[in-house]
């Protein structure tokens, strides 16, 4: 007895393969959307681990930074190296840790800071500060202990900073401010500078 063998129909040469059904196309589309969402979530989490975004509030960092500017902060800046004089940093305000401040590092651990007659000196050496709005009208002396930093706003006479509430514990640092990304006319890298005046001769 002969039995017929069941075989799939073979399209004639040059004929296009049958198109997938609606269910197959829908499943493929959903799979692609889910893959895109997973990749986007991984990128978002990665960016949040490495950076933070803050909004500048007030005029304490003028003329370098202005009120309402949005800034990117590098959270990993001090993971493998220590803070540097002149760095503009974001930190948790020691008196209210839920608040975030942005200031410039002026003094490092072990240094002796004196502000007098509008001039900052560090261990007796003047600090060159072309970035400030105006010379400070206050005076004071501070000895910076290990694990501390001395931070000031560039708008010296309109800033809540180390001259009013004392040195900043290093552990309060969030990161280094690196980029203004809003508004577009102010977009760009944030300059970091703070050089001691070298003695001539």
Q: Which residues are catalytic?
A: 60, 103
All residues at 6 or more sequence positions from 65 whose CB lies less than 8 Å from its CB, including other chains: 56, 71, 88, 102, 154, 177, 180, 190
| CA angle in degrees (0–180, nearest 5) for 34-36-42 | 105
All residues at 6 or more sequence positions from 27 whose CB lies less than 8 Å from its CB, including other chains: none
The Cα–Cα gap between 108 and 91 comes to 15
């Amino acid at each position: 007895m002969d039995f017929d063998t069941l075989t799939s129909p073979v399209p004639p040469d040059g004929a296009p393969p049958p198109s997938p059904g609606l269910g197959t196309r829908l499943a493929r589309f959903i799979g692609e959307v889910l893959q895109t969402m997973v990749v986007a979530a991984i990128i978002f989490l990665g960016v949040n681990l490495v950076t933070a975004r803050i909004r500048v509030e007030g005029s304490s960092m003028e003329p370098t930074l202005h009120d309402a500017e949005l800034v990117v902060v590098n959270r990993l800046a001090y993971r493998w190296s220590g803070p540097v004089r002149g760095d503009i940093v974001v930190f948790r305000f020691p008196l209210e840790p839920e608040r975030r401040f942005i200031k410039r590092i002026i003094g490092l651990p072990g240094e002796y800071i004196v502000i007098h007659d509008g001039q900052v000196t560090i261990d007796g050496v003047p600090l060159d500060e072309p970035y400030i709005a105006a010379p400070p009208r206050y005076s004071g002396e501070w000895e910076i202990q290990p694990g501390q930093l001395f931070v000031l706003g560039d708008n010296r006479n309109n800033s809540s900073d180390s001259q009013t509430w004392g040195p900043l514990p290093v552990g309060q640092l969030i990161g280094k401010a690196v980029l203004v990304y809003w508004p577009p006319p102010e977009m760009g890298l944030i300059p970091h500078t703070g050089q001691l005046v070298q003695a001539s001769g």
